[in-house]
Amino acid sequence: MIRLVIVWGLFAFVFGKALNLDGTDGSNNELLLSLNKQLLRSLETQEGLPNPSIHLGLRLSNYHNHVKEDEQLTKLKNDLHNEIQSSLRSNQHVTGLLALYSLALKSSCYDLNTVSFRVAEKPETLLAHLKKAMEQEKEHVAFSHRPLTNYYQYSLGVLALCVNSIRVNNHVTHKLIKAAEHENFKHGDVESIDTYAVAGMALQCVKDSGSYTHNAAEIDLALSKIKQKLLASRRTDGHMGNEFSTGLAVQALIAMGSEESEYSISMEAMRTAAGITFTIIPWPYHRLYLPSRSNPT
């Protein structure tokens, strides 16, 4: 199974304002170019299935190698698609992979209505499968107090549906809100900063879409709780949680409209890290997804 979590340097391409992409800061441009090269090099050494997060990072970069991007897209549509098809036929739960696949295709402006999987001899679109998977996750939370997969993948599913203009079921969102309030985002006995970050981006997306009609105040409370958790996780060296989760945590803070002073120390910690490896789900705020989130269906 493809790793859903670790990708190289992906976060930097989505922080337009934070990294001053439109300005003249040479150090930022140098950093972005360096990260872009790391992503391209990772394609040369990539083994097994193509990583949709790498493709997403390349597509959101200001620097493009269209030949490599097209090659990666073809691999996603063939190799990764077939892997997901096989998993679905085996009744495996691949919510996170469905979510990342949809985001990767969307970043290439691919028509997701043309992407389908056949289960029980009935073809259904990728987004229909993802929406069904989220209903199953929600029902499992109701009876077992935990998702079928985990809250990281649950959050990815909410985020992917939202940015693809699919209205997220209020009950699906409500379960994520309550999980944040009850501090259920853990890996073993340790709080998962990665999960808090993705949940924050997912809930912020739902809030901005205006689709959550259950209780607007509780989504704000959950976002506030998540922000507190992220800020409280910051270490003396500036990293949040650990070196691998810092990029995702900073990205979530930016998506939630935090002041630059609240994440600048962590940004600097990432700049000066000896090896730049980040855990990320790109959040192209005001750049790619927001225009397509209008009129959710």
Q: Express each pLDDT in 253-263 by its tens digit.
A: 988 999 989 98
- Average pLDDT score over the chain: 82
Q: Report residue 9's pLDDT band, with 50, 70 and 90 as the boundaries.
A: very low
pLDDT given at position 64: 84
Handedness of CA 81, 102, 202, 51 (dihedral sign): positive
The residue-averaged pLDDT of 108-118 equals 95
Question: For the segment 213-235, what is each residue's pLDDT rounded down to a tens digit?
Answer: 889 899 999 999 999 999 999 99
CA distance 76 to 58: 14
Q: Angle 92-98-102 (CA atoms, 0-180°, nearest 5)?
A: 165
Q: Report residue 20's pLDDT band, with 50, 70 and 90 as the boundaries.
A: very low
Q: Report residue 31's pLDDT band, with 50, 70 and 90 as the boundaries.
A: low
Q: Give the CA count within 13 Å in the CB-facing half-sphere of 1.
A: 13
Q: Which two tokens stand for residue 202?
A: 């997912």
Secondary structure (DSSP) of 111-175: -GGG-EEEETTEEEEHHHHHHHHHHHHHHHHHHHSS-SS-HHHHHHHHHHHHHTTPPPPHHHHHH
- What's phi and psi for 274, nearest 5 deg? -65, -45
**Helices in the chain by DSSP H: which ranges?**
26-45, 52-60, 66-75, 81-89, 95-107, 126-144, 151-163, 170-181, 193-209, 216-232, 246-255, 264-271
pLDDT given at position 285: 32
How large a percentage of the chain has pLDDT more than 90? Answer: 57
Q: Which two tokens stand for residue 289?
A: 């997804």
Higher pLDDT: 266 or 44? It is 266
- What's phi and psi for 282, nearest 5 deg? -55, 140
DSSP letter at 94?
A: -
pLDDT given at position 122: 86
- Per the annotation, binding residues are 149-153, 194, 242
pLDDT at residue 283 is higher than 70: no
Q: Report residue 273's pLDDT band, with 50, 70 and 90 as the boundaries.
A: low
The residue-averaged pLDDT of 17-39 equals 57
How large a percentage of the chain has pLDDT more than 70? Answer: 80
Beta-carbon neighbour count of residue 57 at 10 Å?
28
pTM comes to 0.86
The H-or-E segment that residue 186 falls in is: strand 186-187
CA distance 207 to 35: 31
pLDDT given at position 37: 76
Any idea which fold 6-286 has?
Answer: Glycosyltransferase (1.50.10)
Q: Angle 207-202-49 (CA atoms, 0-180°, nearest 5)?
A: 155
Question: For the segment 161-192, what is each residue's pLDDT rounded down to a tens digit?
Answer: 999 999 999 999 999 999 999 999 998 889 99
pLDDT given at position 159: 94
CA distance 156 to 42: 23
pLDDT at residue 53 is higher than 70: yes
pLDDT given at position 26: 53
pLDDT given at position 242: 82
- Per the annotation, binding residues for cyanocob(III)alamin are 149-153, 194, 242
Q: Which two tokens stand for residue 218?
A: 């509780």
CA distance 279 to 241: 11
Domain boundaries, the chain: 6-286
